[in-house]
Amino acid sequence: MTIIYSKEVPGTGSETETPTHRFHTTADRIVERAAPNVTNIYGALLHGKETRPEYNILGKRDVVGTVSEDKEVQHKVDGKVETVVKKWSYFKLSEYKWMNYTQAIDYTRNLGSGFAKLGMKTASRVLIYAPTSREWQLCAMGAFSQSMQIVTAYDTLGESGLLHAMNQAKVETVFLKADQMPILSRIMGEIETVKSVVYYQDVYGMPAGCEEAIEQVKAKYSVYTMDEVHDMGKAEPLELNIAGDQDIAMVMYTSGSTGKPKGVLICHQGVMAVAGGIHEFIAPYIDYGHDVILSYLPLSHVLAFFVDVYCMYSGIGIGYGTPRTLTDESVRECRGDIKELRPMVMMGVPQVWNTIRAGMLKQVDKSGWLVRKLFYNAVELKNGLRHYSLPHNFLDGIVFKKTKEATGGRLKFVITGGAPVNKNVQRLMNAALCPMIHGYGLTEASGLVSVQLPDDPTFNNVGAPCPSVEMKLVDVPEANYFARNGQGEVWVRGPSIFKGYLDNDELTRETLTPDGWLKTGDIGEWTAQGQLSIIDRKKNLVKMITGEYIALEALEATYKNSLFIHNICVCADGRMSQPCAIVNIDGAQIAHIADEANIGYDNPSELAGNPDFVRAVLADLQRVAKRNGLTKQETLTSIVVDPELWSPENDRLTPAMKLKRSDIRDHNADAVEAMYERMGLN
């Protein structure tokens, strides 16, 4: 039986717009909140306490020690390869320590009262500049308990971006981890409105250099530890001061792939509408009061934040982890976060799943031919059985037992978002791990616009509209996308849509229509089953010399099927008939590729500029293009290899792990210029 995931709203649509679509079970209404009596974000915690006061809701692990190991590293000195012994440090962690709903309510109420003692009032703003942690969420909830607002900034945000956020949002209090104190001390001379600084640290001790920075900050601001502020509030607790549903809850700064970060104004109802929308379709798959989720993505990213809020509302325990401690290989004398928590739900961005896929397939390819054949056939068989809703779990114990155990053995589904995930990655995850559901959202929509259901067996789409929004596609004539073909720019409307950009009315008017539609800038297409497929972004559609358009992000998602590469930035402009690319390959993989292609070398770092090596990588990418049915116009004709791993720390990626295209091109400017010369473009 064919399932229709969204329905058209009668009487909508025109020559330039598709009919408006809504989630199939809520086609007669828009979900406005999680429950009638839950009108604000702090209400999520209060609702949880009412239903499960003793349930463990917020879990963390303490750093109880570090373990140093010597590792040999090769590098070139004066033309000679030398082996140097370097010390690598690994964390040793405790078991998860939990805070139940009652304890969380008590702590956040006291913390909010403490913020008030610092002079903060209703609508005062506290900036959270810290990594994902229980402390991050407690700070946010403490502020919400007194109708204060939070301002979110990625902990990897540079000094200029951080300063911009503080001054534009007129922040009064900064909350941060002790590690970030040196950054604050360097910019405090340019900060305009901050009065107080609150920090926390690991129980293992103060990082080197932080004590001096704290003393410098104390010379200008009132500085307290998080527990000191909590104790101030505990001594004189205030009654809860809960905000209204239309009041601003947060200024969430986008990661900023170009220009300064934008401050997105999100109200309480926006987040709780998304929570209510999720609950409409996810409830059958969750055992509330039992299931746990691993939270490690940046809480300054709206996806991670609204998922946390929904978990607090519904009774899904949140265990906090870090990218540095997820796996057993990244810690010592303890288990990694995944195996320690054994979550039922986990989130990740496509780069996480690409890495997992590459590691999984490398292990399979090391096995004998019989094991390889069994594994790949089982992947196809399981996906086929899922497609027809036939029993398929019997394959888990026969073929996929080890892959499931690597993530604790209890995953029910994983959530991916932030960028397109490749079909082959999703097929492998669905079979060897658990169902992968692809979501699509924007900060301006409080996080979620559409999402797949866990039992949806289809690929290349991001599911149906979330029950908290309605959606339509609008003509983009300059790129030949028309509503009559079921294609166009995605427009979204509903209670979860943001209130505007902070101090930027012009951009707000460009983005929001007078009747409340958010212009996402993404190009979408309706599937026959009423799902949304994202084709690309308007600004990433490039018109080639032939007059035809290519979609950069869609091509990048396809080329990531190559096991040779870690990441890729496709480049194209109106002078080209075929695209080129800057390809990111980490050092270990560079050596592996060279060995596979029988290319001699003295040091792996030299291979990025080796013509034979570059040709080997390009040939593999062109094979990927052919296997995936790309046209000649979409097939790479030349590449540059960048051996330095792209990350937010070196400004190649945003904190949301999206490409910073101009920075990538600037870093490889000489090599790109030479590539353009070879292509006859200069």
Q: What is the mean pLDDT of residues 506-512?
A: 96
pTM for this one?
0.85
Q: Supply the DSSP symbol for 140.
A: H
Which of left, alpha, beta for 651 (phi over 0: left; psi -120 to 50: alpha)?
left
- The two three-digit tokens of residue 38, written as one number: 């839950």
pLDDT tens profile 583-625: 998 767 787 788 878 888 777 777 888 899 999 999 999 999 9
d(CA 186, CA 388): 60
**According to the model, what pLDDT value does residue 256 have?**
56
pLDDT band at 73 (very low <50, low <70, confident <90, very high): low
| Mean pLDDT rounded to a whole number for the chain | 91
| Fold of the CATH domain 6-30+349-538 | Luciferase; domain 3 (2.30.38)
Strand partners, 464: 451
349 vs 415, higher pLDDT: 415
| Predicted confidence (pLDDT) at residue 55 exceeds the cutoff of 70 | yes
The least confident of 201-205, 239-243, 438-442, 669-673 is 201-205
Which residues, at least 6 apart from 435, have a Cβ–Cβ distance to it below 8 Å? 412, 413, 414, 429, 454, 455
pLDDT band at 520 (very low <50, low <70, confident <90, very high): very high
pLDDT tens profile 384-395: 999 888 999 899
**H helix runs in 23-88, sequence order:** 42-51
| Predicted confidence (pLDDT) at residue 76 exceeds the cutoff of 60 | no
pLDDT tens profile 1-19: 678 999 999 999 999 999 9
**According to the model, what pLDDT value does residue 362 have?**
82
pLDDT tens profile 84-111: 777 888 899 999 999 999 999 999 999 9
| Predicted confidence (pLDDT) at residue 482 exceeds the cutoff of 80 | yes
CATH code: domain 545-678 is 3.30.300.30
- 364 phi, psi to nearest 5 deg: -65, -45
The percentage of the chain sitting over the pLDDT mark of 90, rounded to a whole number, equals: 68
pLDDT band at 82 (very low <50, low <70, confident <90, very high): low
571 vs 543, higher pLDDT: 571
**According to the model, what pLDDT value does residue 627 have?**
92
Question: Nearest-CA neighbor of 336 among 319, 348, 349, 353?
Answer: 319
**According to the model, what pLDDT value does residue 255 have?**
63
**According to the model, what pLDDT value does residue 681 have?**
80
pLDDT tens profile 141-162: 999 999 999 999 887 777 888 9
| Predicted confidence (pLDDT) at residue 352 exceeds the cutoff of 90 | no
pLDDT tens profile 419-428: 788 888 999 9
Q: Supply the DSSP symbol for 399.
A: T
| Predicted confidence (pLDDT) at residue 257 exceeds the cutoff of 60 | no
CATH code: domain 42-57+99-280+295-302 is 3.40.50.980
Could you count the other beta carbons within 10 Å of the beta carbon of residue 243? 23
| Predicted confidence (pLDDT) at residue 232 exceeds the cutoff of 90 | yes
Can you give the residue ranges of every domain in the chain?
A: 6-30+349-538, 42-57+99-280+295-302, 63-93, 545-678
**According to the model, what pLDDT value does residue 228 have?**
98
Q: What is the mean pLDDT of residues 207-230?
A: 93
pLDDT band at 645 (very low <50, low <70, confident <90, very high): confident
**According to the model, what pLDDT value does residue 542 have?**
85
| Predicted confidence (pLDDT) at residue 208 exceeds the cutoff of 90 | no
Judged by DSSP in three states, 34 sits in coil
The least confident of 26-40, 53-67, 154-168, 499-513 is 154-168
Whether residue 344 contacts residue 410, with contact meaning beta carbons closer than 8 Å, is answered with yes
Question: Nearest-CA neighbor of 577 among 537, 545, 532?
Answer: 545
Q: What is the mean pLDDT of residues 446-460?
A: 93
Whole-angstrom CA distances from 648 to 438, 496, 498 are 23, 28, 26
Q: What is the mean pLDDT of residues 294-308?
A: 93
| Predicted confidence (pLDDT) at residue 650 exceeds the cutoff of 60 | yes
